Amino acid sequence: MELEKKVKIAVIGLGYVGLPLARLFATKYSVVGFDINESRVNSLKSGTDTTLEVEDDVLQNVLVAEPDQEKGLYCTTSLNDIENCNYYIVTVPTPVDKNNRPDLTPLYRSSETVGKVLKKGDVVIYESTVYPGVTEEQCVPVLEQCSGLIFNEDFFAGYSPERINPGDKEHTVEKILKVTSGSTPEIGLKVDALYKSVITAGTHLAPSIKVAEAAKVIENSQRDINIAFVNELAKIFNLMNIDTQEVLEAASTKWNFLPFKPGLVGGHCIGVDPYYLAQRAQEFGYHPEIILAGRRLNDSMGEYVASQIVKLMIKKGISVNGAELLMLGITFKENCPDVRNTKIVDVVKALKDYGILVTIYDPLANANDVIKEYNLITLNTMPNNKFDAIVLGVSHKEFLELDFVELQNSNSLLYDVKGVLGDIADNRL
């Protein structure tokens, strides 16, 4: 299907998902990137992406000074700048609250924003991960109320789940096949054509918005369950004094073995999305067992890792109370500055409960964000003293080049949460 001659796209939310997408579309279309965070917008306007998802020279190459250019990206906090767009793509986060219940507040607020400027013929596409039904049952009514327009008569909707992998410079947005959908068959074709025009990996047009929503939420739920399984294996094999990594390496020689590794499962996707699916299932009277069991096990791993570290310290004769420990990394994954829902904080909290003095070093994390989110002090430069224990919590590439001997005293423990240090580590998860 051919698109309109004049395509103008507004991307609502310029975070880890929105900015790479806006940058990609800006290579071909006029794109306005909208975000309510003024400091974020000012940073982008200066040509710098603090999330490190888009390299500065790549970002600067698409930035334009005015919102009505033939192509290019204009970043703004002003509602007036997105009034003339005909495609609105919403890429805001979908977190859970303290009770692990879906928090749709960012989606409601962004839908209100779009509803204020929505016009006849416009298409609103959601990329945020949700449970099946959110787009049409939760977001569309907000759009109708704020715009006074009628859904599927005056305006239309689509859903194309984000598949960004933060910190991954190989599987970038254009190289990941995109699932698309629309609120009518014709709109589905239009949404698919829009993404197909920039996604080199191709697209998959789902038959409905609910199918596309469900496809996304099970992607991360599946990974969560598989990681929970190998985490449970790690607990079992540790009791048997068997190296879990060696077991997995041996098992992986079979062609259809799934190569998952044990670890901490945090972040704003895998550690959150299963709760969205579970919540929706319960609304239909079904209590999901495997999904929530996987979540419980993965959420318990922080305390488990801390207990393993303490046991090893005791075996080495290290006095636990008052011991100085260096935690390498606080972000939720390697080579990424995002600290949202990081499970390293669970390890740190448990270690502190044992009386251990924990120093956190992470060159990528924003120290102010860590203080705001977790009330923890994080160093961005390497401390120059020696430690009783060193824990590789996040495998940033900078950490893999460290000389760990310089950080250790004569009887230090080196614990590898990520299983990447090989024989130099005393133990690994």
Which residues are catalytically annotated? 269
Q: Is 277 within 8 Å of 223 (Cβ atoms)? A: no
* In 46-184, alpha helices (H): 56-62, 105-115, 134, 140-147
Name which of 323, 366, 358, 359 is nearest 342 in CA terms: 366
Take residue 429 and report the two structure tokens written for it: 């998860």
Q: Which residues contact 347 (CB under 8 A, 6 or more apart)?
A: 264, 302, 303, 305, 306, 309, 327, 391, 393, 417
Q: Alpha-carbon torsion 139, 142, 143, 148, what sign?
A: positive
What is the distance between the alpha carbons of residues 218 and 132, in angstroms, rounded to a whole number? 10
The phi and psi torsions of 428 (rounded to 5 degrees) equal -145, 160
Contact 329, 399 (CB under 8 A): yes
Residue 341 CA to its chain's centroid (Å): 9
Backbone angles phi, psi at 412, to 5 degrees: -75, 155
- Please give the structure tokens belonging to residue 202: 């191709």
Rounded alpha-carbon distances, angstroms, from residue 237 to 240, 242, 262, 414, 419: 5, 5, 12, 20, 15
Cross-strand pairs, 324: 357
Give the span between the Cα atoms of 229 and 257, in whole angstroms.
Answer: 13
